[in-house]
Structure 1
């Protein structure tokens, strides 16, 4: 059985200060009606005295934060980050590690990066299970070793993640490179945690651990997570798993283009050349709002695949299309000359 702590102090005028293990709250009202706010959200209760009948409505801080994150992710825009405000009484009663976390976030939001990094480090020294500080520090530090250690700690203390972000309705995030050509904004939710963790683990050679993390995700239908997982499978030589993971993603945006590109490369590695050609052509079909570099990479891979399939004339055309856009791209000029000589 878990232990609970709760203490209530009468402030007069119908107001009460409520202290509990989860934080501080305040409530007010009289017999039959009360309204209060606390770390878990707002609560309103109205009843008929003496009858036992009452109506209660609760609103959660977490829902507000999650709604903001969802809206930002749909538009793929920078997170709307605001400073966290602590009231006077709240500041007095908030644990030191939590106050340092708040100060660290506020420094980063105010473009005081170094102060933010140092304050977040201090919050972790004060409380080494403060998962939200590990997440924030992993996003802003430029020390790769520190970033990896933050991710390891974050995964270890994952059950504590979002405890303080949710309490303060804070949205915090940054731009993350998911592949060489796809970057997107991640936020302080479970999907953001998993994408960030997978990328950091991959950078340090822990590909199997990154694959396991994403494979156990509840967000396996999210295109961004599927692209990240598919790329991990490809880099680990698991080409069939790569194809299965990326199957069905449409070429509607940069995520779709890259997913189809990796699927085509996987077919090529498996020597399924007809499927590779068809898939790579599908990947390069839409060029509007696409990074020109990924289109050139797709054309180059397509040309090589056509050559492997002894379709030299078609390969030469792809190389020449690259040449018209970038005459210095890789060894395209040399490849064209070789094909002409043969």
Structure 2
């Protein structure tokens, strides 16, 4: 029997002691970034606020040639319901007979409750409920599939949810936001390519400037992160231009906008523009948690690509001072001090 034991003790100041059957572990961090050390190694998690995605880096403590650092994009489920698929069936998907069908179902339930008086009441009640289901299946195919999709998502039956959503989307009045829920299901199933295709198609078909910045921030952030990982820089930049220039509801849009712009322009080998983007992301902040530490690191990379090694070394030194285990920063600093090339380390 797969029993699992885990207890977390808050030690204060963002530090927790985690006790499990596999051993002791310690984790610490702030909102959006946590680092944990346990029997299996070091795990660092950095999340994008307001979204369900995070970057996870795992490193084994075992010293072996096969021991490698693992990095991946991880999707964290936040709720049993998708914000882009409300629980109640939209009126636009219901036929004119929808309320009559509901009434028939209620009548059937009433007869079942009264079945203690006569067995015939039970039979009539069951017939009413069956009739309601058969009638709705014939006239309200989209509405029925919508309700099924909601239930499938809630119970994490993502394959079935995708199939039900496809049926709903065939209805002329179906909301295209359901595509975002379909993409969420694909992410949960690990079908990243399919999820990215759905997201990209969704934002291609709609006027992204007219979409609410906050409401559509999670799928936009997910799509931008995936586009950068795939090297689809032009599409990522197109989406980034639709983000606001100010902070809204504790989401620092300028920071994320400029950070991802910088990554895109590094990918496009336009290092001067990347430098400006990372500078704008950092601003006057002296913070070094993620993604600020990432901005400093990639600013150093951009300077190095431009041959401005003195400026690059300043940025790498700041990263090293904040976190000696960050990427290959220790090796980069050693190479710079020795006057060696760092090209292969970037």
Task: Provide TM-score, normalisation by structure 2.
Answer: 0.48
